[in-house]
Amino acid sequence: MKIEVNKNELERALIALGKLISRMSPIPEHKSLLIECKEGKVCFSTRSPSEQMTFRTACVGEVEFRCIVGFDEFRDAVRGYRNKALELEDNEGTLRVGERTLFPKSGVEWQVPDEGEHCSVSELPKDFVALFAAASPLVDRNNPRKVLQGINLCREGITTTNGRELLNIYVPLNVDDFTIPLPLALMQTRITESGTLCTWTDRTGKRCRIETEHWVWYAEGLEGNYPNWKQVIPSQKALVRSVSFLPERGQQLEIFLKNVPDQPPHNPVELYQSEPGYLNILAGEMHTSIAAEFIGNWNDVSIKLNKHVLLRLLSEGHTKIEACDGHFPILATGGTGRYITIPLYQPKTQEPKPIQTQTEEPKMENNEMRVVSAPVQTVVSNPEPVPETVDPMEELNHSIDELRGRLKLLLDETGVLTRKVKEAVLKQKQKERDFILAKRAIERIKMAI
């Protein structure tokens, strides 16, 4: 009893199936491969404590058999086979892969999860696996809360968060708050076809199944309540300013940030508008600017973000950043889903309080002198006008206030000039760096010619 399958297709499938193999597990099912052949199709399945995945493909040969073998032994046999058409033969209880004989595993039980009576079905769009891959960088696999180690599915789509960042990708789903474990094996398939999502509840808890033409993935839902992430998204009324740029400018900024050295612990990167139509990015001693469009008041306003957060924002393809007044989350759109994060805290600089001088006491003395001198003036028959005397303490206080104002103005002007000089120096360094890179590129082109 012999069948033939496409060796290259099966070899690629084994890479994804191997993600569920636990070679250190004492349970035989977690390091075995189930092979089932019937009705002109052959299925290869692996499983882990919480997941199970099956690859289905067409085969040549009307043969029905079922066996469980070691995953590593089967994979090595497939790799050592030379022909494109892989021959599998069930020979009296053993499995023959080409010229190699594999013995089945004994004492291994394999059960496929049964769907409940009340099963919710949702249609998944094409490239839904790519959406899981885009959301996976925000999954915190070291978080003590199990529910934050997975991806949340609800009627508003796919959501992930690590406590500092949040990504929501809108996909209409017929499911109420279901959190699946991070589907590494499913993402490894890199399939682009559409599929269906089925969710149900049985005696052990929540379960789901994602099925496409060639793949079936089962998983147990993670226990716990996912955070109410909808409260984190700022309302549109609170977003008072925004900056947007072209995708090409975002790629240019991403390349610049990858060359910026880390500045622990926060790796700050400051975004601000220095002149109309240009977004400046200041990261330590490095500086660049890109063309951008601004909405709202950006005078004396800047956004300070973590470098790695800004890199993740750009890697998702976002081209628009909206911010509120104060220390509130920012919203990035234009790429995959909606990206929300908290900017770094920037304490407000308080102006020095003016020095309080005791001016009340001299005024009281002056008033007493006027009261005493009043009866004396009435005695004189022809009083001459007495010139009004100026208190020296009041004149001194007035001079100090004027001096303080001039000093503050000079300090502000000095700060502006210092900032412009620093920007000019950074631009000059950037031009020199670009010149060196261009020169090297020309030399490489000459060598290639």
Whether the Cβ atoms of residue 77 and residue 86 lie closer than 8 Å to each other: no
CB neighbours (10 Å) of residue 33?
A: 24
Query: What are the two backbone dihedrals, phi and then psi, of residue 199, each rounded to the nearest 5 degrees?
Result: -130, 140
Q: How many residues does the chain have?
A: 449
Provide the token pair at 74.
Answer: 């089967």
| CA-wise closest residue to 13 among 4, 2, 5, 24 | 5
For β-strands 338-341 and 51-58, DSSP reports them as unpaired
Residue 318 identity = H
Q: Is 317 helix (H, G, I), strand (E, B) or coil?
A: coil
Dihedrals φ, ψ of 290, to 5°? Answer: -135, 155
Say whether 166 sits in a helix, a strand or coil.
strand
Residue 41 has φ and ψ, to the nearest 5°, of: -130, 150
**Predicted model pTM:** 0.72
Furthest C-alpha separation in the chain:
145
Residue type, 389: T
The token pair at 380 is 């004189």
CB-CB contact of 288 with 430 (8 Å): yes
Q: Which residue has the tokens 């009576």?
A: 117
Residue 348, pLDDT score: 63
Q: Which residue has the tokens 């597990």?
A: 25
The secondary element (H helix, E strand) that includes residue 37 is strand 32-38
Amino acid at 46: T
By three-state DSSP, how is residue 96 classified?
strand
Are the CB atoms for 136 and 182 separated by under 8 Å?
Answer: yes
- Can you spell out the DSSP letters for 172-228? --S-SSEEEE--HHHHHH---S-EEEEEEE-SS-EEEEEE-SSEEEEEEPPSSPPP-
**Quick count: other Cβ atoms within 10 Å of Cβ 379?**
7
- The rounded average pLDDT for each run of 10 residues, N- to C-terminus, in the chain (449 residues) is 87 95 90 90 93 93 85 92 84 80 79 76 93 94 90 95 93 92 94 93 89 95 91 92 95 94 92 90 91 92 94 94 92 95 77 44 40 39 49 74 81 82 86 88 82
Contacts of 234 (CB under 8 A, 6+ apart): 322, 324, 328, 329, 330, 331, 340
Distance of CA 21 to the CA centre of its chain: 29
As a whole number of angstroms, the distance between CA 240 and CA 321 comes to: 11
* Predicted local distance difference test score (pLDDT) of residue 112: 76
The per-residue pLDDT for 353 is: 45
**What's the token pair of residue 169?**
């990708």
Is the separation of the CB atoms in 95 and 88 below 8 Å? yes
Residues contacting residue 48 through CB under 8 Å, at least 6 positions apart: 20, 21, 22, 30
CA atoms within a 13 Å half-sphere pointing along the CA-CB vector of 247: 8
pLDDT of amino acid 344? 92
- State CA 340 to chain mean position distance: 8
Q: Which of 304, 369, 368, 298 is nearest to 341 (CA)?
A: 304
Angle, to 10 degrees, between the axis of helix 247-258 and the axis of helix 307-315? 140
CA atoms of 114 and 285, how far apart (whole Å): 60
Burial class from Cβ neighbours inside 10 Å (0-12, 13-18, 19+) for residue 259 reads exposed
What are the two backbone dihedrals, phi and then psi, of residue 405, each rounded to the nearest 5 degrees? -65, -40
